[in-house]
Structure 1
Amino acid sequence: MKTIVDKEEKYRKLVIVLSILIPIAVAALFGIKIDGVDLSFLPPIYASINGLTAILLIIAVVAIKNGKRALHEKLMTVNICLSALFLILYVAYHMTSDSTKFGGEGLVKSIYLFILISHILLSVVIIPLVLFTYIRALSEKFDKHRKLAKITFPIWLYVAVTGVIVYIMISPYYQ
């Protein structure tokens, strides 16, 4: 006799695998350098994607609080797609360009490093949070979805906003 497996259980292993593989793949791809390709135009684009993600996250939360579930669902799907696009562009840039060193000193450098390190660490943490939150909505486990979304939203918003801040702080030092 077949048992019915809900979407959350069905995708649990996939989410765990992706949550481990994505950061490992990103780290591994940073070790690969492709010469002769100029993607130096990408940083303002992927920073803008982060900014758009932050704005759409806020609009999506306002939408659901106002009972506009269909709009909320569409916006959250767009945010996941934007985050995936960001990741692709970010990795492509870093595979074709040398890392840019932050030129600030003193307190400004300490602030930059704090924002950068917290951004990187939370960008790894946000992967399973977003995926599990999304799957719980798809599984129509809205109580569990809301509970996890209350954790996911501020972290995802922080990652999106700090991505823009990191870009603004380092952009004067791009070659």
Structure 2
Amino acid sequence: MTTATEQLHPPVLEPGDYTKYKIILGGLGVIVPVLVAILFYYKGIFQIQGADAHLRFLPALNAALNSLTAVALLVGYYFIRQQNVLAHRAAMGTAFGLGALFLVSYVAYHSQVASTHFGGTGALRAVYFLLLLTHISLAVVTVALVLFTLYFALTGQYTKHKRIARWTFPVWLYVSITGVIVYFMIAPYYPAG
């Protein structure tokens, strides 16, 4: 028995072998954060001479991408609450695309530019590191959540999509917003130029 949503909005992809997709998506959900960590912590391996001078604008771009992702997520949430599935899909597709651009930009920057250390003190320092720790921890989880949520939507498994989206949306929104806050907190400590 198909629902009204399934009749009006058929799946983009056929569900196929869910076990195979679960392995692929789960693998990507682990591999992507591990690759990001490798590129972040082992900069010397992938260092391109002189690239850091040309990439110093990327933290501001990353903050803009995170801001736009948060807006797209909120717009997508609004549209699904209004039962406007097509507009919801467009907004969430935009959020996914912005998130992918952010990931590429983030990796490019952190694989080439030395880390900037937060210079604040006292309670502000504690707040910064609390936000940073929760931001990074949840960002790792967000990759898999987003991939599975997208998979269920594209394959028309709307019950599963709704179930996981209840977790994905607030986590992804938190990661996007705290990314912007962390940027503004550390921005005064970036090297000039």
TM-score if structure 1 supplies the norm length? 0.93
Q: CA deviation at 1:142?
A: 1.1
Q: Is 1:163 matched up with 2:179?
A: yes
Q: Distance in 2 between matches of 1:137 and 1:96?
A: 36
Give 1:36's match in structure 2, choosing from 40, 50, 73: 50
Q: CA deviation at 1:16?
A: 1.0
Q: Is 1:11 matched up with 2:21?
A: yes
* Percent of matched pairs sharing the same residue: 43
Q: Is 1:22 matched up with 2:36?
A: no
Unaligned runs of at least 5 residues, structure 1: none
Q: Is 1:172 matched up with 2:179?
A: no
The number of equivalent residue pairs is: 171
Q: Is 1:80 matched up with 2:96?
A: yes
Unaligned runs of at least 5 residues, structure 2: 1-13
Structure 1 runs (4+) deviating above 3 angstroms are: none
Give 2:67's match in structure 1, choosing from 21, 28, 51: 51
1:127 match: 143
Is the alpha carbon distance of 1:8 and 1:130 closer, same or farther for their aligned partners in structure 2, counting shifts above 3 Å? farther
Q: Distance in 1 between matches of 2:120 and 2:92?
A: 36
Q: Distance in 2 between matches of 1:36 and 1:60?
A: 40
CA RMSD, Structure 1 to Structure 2 (Å)? 1.3
